[in-house]
Amino acid sequence: MSPKITVELLRQLRQAMKNSKYITEPIQAYIVPSGDAHQSEYIAPCDCRREFICGFNGSAGTAIVTEQHAALWTDGRYFLQASQQMDTNWTLMKMGLKETPSQEDWLISVLPENSRVGVDPWIIAADQWKNMWKALSGAGHSLVAVQDNLIDAIWEDRPPRPSTKLIALGLKYTGLTWQDKVTALRGKMAERRISWFVVTALDEIAWLFNLRGSDIQYNPVFFAYAIIGISSIKLFVDSKRLLEPAVREHLELDSPSKPDLTVHCFPYESVYTELQAVCAALAPKEKIWICDKASCALTQVIPKAHRSAIPYTPLCLAKAVKNPTEIQGMKMAHIKDAVALCELFAWLEKEIPKGTVTEISVADKAEELRSQQKDFVGLSFPTISSVGPNGAIIHYRPLPETNRTLSLNEVYLIDSGAQYLDGTTDVTRTMHFGTPSDYEKECFTYVLKGHIAVSAAVFPSGTKGHLLDSFARASLWDAGLDYLHGTGHGVGCFLNVHEGPCGISYKTFADEPLEAGMIVSDEPGYYEDGSFGIRLENVVLVIPAKTKYNYRNRGSLTFEPLTLVPIQLKMINTELLTQKERDWVNDYHRKCRETIGAELERQGRKVALDWLIRETEPIV
């Protein structure tokens, strides 16, 4: 990796910071956040502005350029990568280290008095703007919304914003028409006396309208905004995309059935002026919902007295609780996914001894096998395929220069998933194709015990996921071990593989309670720097649990694994398992054998079936 040369770019940006074409008065610093105008986790190439200016292309990081300095803040996952990708014009600010100043503190320490700090209000979230604004004004500076993005201004050949073909999903996949979803949303709005709701998250818009796109790699979403009123629907999307007859019919654009379910379409860019018009027509006590993570630009259009900023929108909550059709779809997607993986693992057993299989070739093979399955759309995230020491790099992604060959001597970890029309998958398995060491087995078994502890946990309705996080760690902790990431994230249904508002992590306290129908991952791990990585990940469905008693009639919940891929028996030290844990493994493998076996049979995949049967033998 050689660093990006940024001398000239920085010179141009610093000129733009003084250019009256963009701003009335010069600014002394310019902040370049990581995200897009929708605060997406994955972003389109046209939105990779921070990468463009500094060269660092990790998923998290903020660049700040002043007249004298240029600095980038990122977290521990990316210290090495950022230091390799950036040239000496940039200072790396290692977040999480005591000596590293916050962006605010650093700005205050380097800026001359009464400085003006600029930022594009479309790509900074309202809550972040507020914090930055407070800190700067407390120190005598000001934060300025620069309407023209200064990176775009100097970015020649900036890719255009994608405008891919939209797919309309029928009831067979969604379980609810978009009209039903709008009506349910309006019910929630009426309950809280809300007149309008501004939808800015791309997955919420896709879910609400039962539409999908492919504007952002891995995430089947499309660039759009929506403003939903009690009796009106405004959709902001590139008008070319609405020429498709299937989409027109789906949205009933040409023959709306009801006036209050008529979709009024506007160009993507006109959301600002339309929202202004909505606000101008508000009665005194009317309120508008907007997510507190929405862009500062849109948030500030709504006068404070009319604004109701919420941490999780009703769509985010509704989307998280899957309906029976979605659950059925997720189950089907996971069966197909397991078929592909059984085939992959059987193939690996034969191919690895030849010495020609690499991290990249396995990832390619996995994609090929998945693509043979019905309704396959694409991957749900970049495959993590890692051998030996590479497995210890939690966010590893094989590149030609790091690509390692699989062997009979090293642990192999593969974390992968796909988008199917009926659901999204995400599964991690860790395997050894020779003879694992006792230590590798011991660590694997602790991780397995943690995985089971979460998967088999019974807990009261209303429990938040973060309360389950320690269950995944207890066995590792007993041995003095741990892993430095959360245990689980919400998973969308043919949508983003990471979604809120629930999860299982020690890091957050603001997650929403788990409810039957929610789907999360269960993925504890253990990583030994320079040696190996272990992670065991299933996607699990929250279901009601039957318990002996029922305290205060609250009801209890537990998890049902949707992922049905064998856990390698060779890696387990069965002596470390309790009888309950052995029963769990055998029960899980019985289910894998029954469900996936039947599908392998149907698809005539004999080699994979044999592999599956061997790998699901009961343990004692």
Residues that bind a second copy (CB under 8 A): 457-460, 467-471, 474, 477-482, 506, 509, 547-552, 554, 556, 578
What is the rounded distance in angstroms from the CA atom of residue 388 to the CA atom of residue 391?
A: 6
Inter-residue contact 471 to 490 (CB < 8 Å) = no
Length of the chain: 620
Inter-residue contact 411 to 421 (CB < 8 Å) = no
Inter-residue contact 457 to 488 (CB < 8 Å) = no
Closer Cβ to a second copy, 97 or 458, answer by number: 458
Closer Cβ to a second copy, 257 or 549, answer by number: 549
**Rounded to 5°, angle at Cα 359 from 357 and 361:** 55
Least separation in angstroms between residue 574's CB and a second copy is 17
Residue 41: closest CA among 211, 202, 235, 271: 202
Closer Cβ to a second copy, 556 or 586, answer by number: 556
Least separation in angstroms between residue 477's CB and a second copy is 5
Closer Cβ to a second copy, 354 or 546, answer by number: 546
Handedness of CA 507, 509, 514, 518 (dihedral sign): negative
Residue 12 bridge partners (DSSP):
none
Closer Cβ to a second copy, 246 or 458, answer by number: 458
Least separation in angstroms between residue 95's CB and a second copy is 17
Closer Cβ to a second copy, 5 or 305, answer by number: 305
- Determine how many CB atoms are found less than 10 A away from the CB of residue 396: 20
Closer Cβ to a second copy, 177 or 556, answer by number: 556
Least separation in angstroms between residue 557's CB and a second copy is 10
Closer Cβ to a second copy, 160 or 480, answer by number: 480
Least separation in angstroms between residue 467's CB and a second copy is 5
- Determine how many CB atoms are found less than 10 A away from the CB of residue 149: 22
- Determine how many CB atoms are found less than 10 A away from the CB of residue 402: 16
Least separation in angstroms between residue 453's CB and a second copy is 9
> Which residues, in sequence order, are CB contacts of 332 under 8 Å at separation 6+?
420, 422, 423
DSSP letters, 281-339, are: T--TT--EEEETTSBHHHHHHS-GGGEEEESS-HHHHHHHS--HHHHHHHHHHHHHHHH
Least separation in angstroms between residue 224's CB and a second copy is 33
Least separation in angstroms between residue 186's CB and a second copy is 21
